[in-house]
Amino acid sequence: TKESVKRLKGLNKVKLVDAGFIWTEPHSKQLKVKVTVQDEVLNGAILQQSCVVDYTVVYNMCGECIRANANPDQWVASVQVRQKVSHKRTFLFLEQLILKHGADKHTINVKDNADGLDFFFKSKSHALSFVDFLTQVAPVKQGKDSKELVSHDEHTSNYRYKFTFYCEIAHPCKDDLVVFDRRQSRALGGFGPLALVTRVSNNLLFTDPSSLRQVWLDATQYWRSPIAVIQDSKQLVEYLVLDIECVRGDYGRPIANGPYVLADAEVVKVSEFGHTDGTMHVRTLLGSVLKPGDTALGYDLQSANYNTAEVDSYGGSIDLPDVVLVRKSYAEKRRRRKNRARPWQLKQLGNKGQMDTDEDAHGDGAEGAKNKSKSSRRQGAAEAAMEEQRQRDMERFMEELEEDPELRSRINLYRRSEGHAGGASGAGGAVDDDDYDDESDGDGVPEVPLEELLDSLTALNVSDASGGGGGPAPSGAGPGDMDM
C-alpha cells in the first residue's frame, strides 16, 4: 500500500518502479514486499534492482480506546460544576450545549453528583478550556482552585499534581420568582421588588410581571450582590382562568414587551374550583397565550411563608400580589396523550458515570454483613429516588423544549430511529410523519415541528429519553446562551 511504502527510508532518492506482496502465512505478523527501484549511475546508465522488505505488524490502541480503558485515577485535572437547586434541568440543558459545541472531546470521564457534575481531563489546559466554555454559557462563579501533589522525583525535581477547578452556577433558574432588596431595587432604577426569571444564559433576564419592565444582569453583577429566590418551580400551583383582558396603553394598544402582553385576569385555584369562592384578580404577563377556560401555573403568595432579609428590608411598605402567573399549563392535555411517543430524541454524554457514594459498610462477620445489607438497601433506595427525580426533570425539560422554539434553536434534536421509536410509552415501530401532525389533533399542545429535527444518529449514543407523548442554545451565534 501507499502508506507502507512511504515508511521506507531513502525511497525519495530513487525511482520506484514496482512493489508487490510476497505470500506469507495468513496469521503471520511478518509482511514481505518486493520492491523494484531504478536510479541513474555513471554516464546516464540506468541501474535497476529488486529487494525484499520485511514489515512487522504491531498493534496499537487509538487514543479514545486508551482513555476508555484507563484507570480513573489517571486524570490530571477535574472541573466540579455545582448549582444549589433541587432539580437538574440546568445540567440537562448544559449537557446538550456541551454536545452541540463539542466541549466534551477532551473529557475522559463524567460523574454525577448530588449538586452537579464532575468532569475529568488528562491535562490542565483542557480543564481550563472547559471552564472558559462554561463562563460563556452560564452565570458561573469560579471558586478557589486547588492542586494536590501526587508524586515527585527528588533527583530531577519533577513534580506531578492533580488540579481541581470549582465552578458554581447562579441559583436563579427559569420561571423562578425572585425578590430584590431595597438597595438592589434602587440601584436598578426602582425595578421590582418582585420579578420572574425569564431567561438564563451567561446573563440573567428578570421581568417584572406587573409592568413588563426587564433588567439584564451579567454574572459579575449577580455574584457581586446575589438575588434571593423566594419561590421555585416546585411550588407552582395550578389555576383556572375565568376571565382575562389585555391592559391597553397609548392609542388603545395592548402593552407588550417581546413575547409578553400585560393583562388583568380573574383566576381561581383548580383544587378549590366549585368548593369555595376563592376568586382572585391578578395582573399577568401571559395575555398573549391565556384565554378563559385555560389553566396556568403560578405562585400562591397569599398563603406562602417566606422569611427573607430582602422582604424585611422594605418594612411594611412592600405590597405583594396574591398570585404571580408564570406559564400556561398543558398538563391535562398531555395526560390524555401519555401513551404517544415523541418522534425525536436527545443525545447524551457517552462516558457519564454514576454518583460516588460515601456509605460504605464496616465491620467483620455477621455484624459487618448486616451493616453492608443496610447500606446496600439505603444506597438502592437513594439511587431509585435520584432516578425518579431525574426522570421528572427530563420530562419537564423536554416539555420546555416543545413550548419554547427559541430554546430548541440552541441545541440539536434528532429524528427518532425505527429501533427506538417505541420510547418509554412502549409503542413499537417507527413514528410516521403523518401520525405526528400537530394541526390534526387540535388540542393546542406544543410540539416540535419535524423540519427542525436532524437525521437520526444511531451510531452516536443517542439517548431514548423522550418518554410518553405528553409530558417529561444559540443557533449561529456560538455557545453564548442557555435557559435553565
Of the three residues 19, 35, 56, the one that is the final residue of a domain is 56
Residues 223 and 325 in one domain: yes
Residues 208 and 320 in one domain: yes
- Give the residue ranges of the chain where pLDDT is below 50: 355-363, 421-440, 458-464, 466-478
Domain count, the chain: 3
Residue 420 included in any domain: no
Residues 246 and 284 in one domain: yes
Residues 192 and 151 in one domain: no
Residues 138 and 213 in one domain: no
Residues 84 and 124 in one domain: yes
Residues 183 and 325 in one domain: yes
Residue 340 included in any domain: no
Of the three residues 329, 347, 368, the one that is the final residue of a domain is 329
Q: What is residue 466's predicted lDDT score, i.e. its pLDDT?
A: 47
Longest pairwise C-alpha distance within the chain: 115
Q: What is residue 139's predicted lDDT score, i.e. its pLDDT?
A: 94
Q: What is residue 473's predicted lDDT score, i.e. its pLDDT?
A: 35
Residue 242 included in any domain: yes
| Rounded CA separation 443/179 (Å) | 36
Residue 342 included in any domain: no
| Residue 70 CA: distances (Å) to CA of 63, 75, 304, 400 | 10, 9, 52, 38
pLDDT, tens only, 1-49: 677 777 788 888 888 888 888 888 888 888 898 989 899 888 888 889 8
Of the three residues 300, 329, 358, the one that is the final residue of a domain is 329
Residues 104 and 183 in one domain: no
Cell 416539555 sits at which residue?
A: 399
Q: What is the pTM of this model?
A: 0.73
Residues 136 and 152 in one domain: yes
Residues 82 and 46 in one domain: no
Residue 338 included in any domain: no
Residues 321 and 191 in one domain: yes
Query: pLDDT averaged over the chain?
Result: 81
Residues 38 and 116 in one domain: no
Q: Is 419 exposed, middle or buried (0-12, 13-18, 19+ CB in 10 A)?
A: exposed
Quote the domain boundaries for residue 199: 177-329
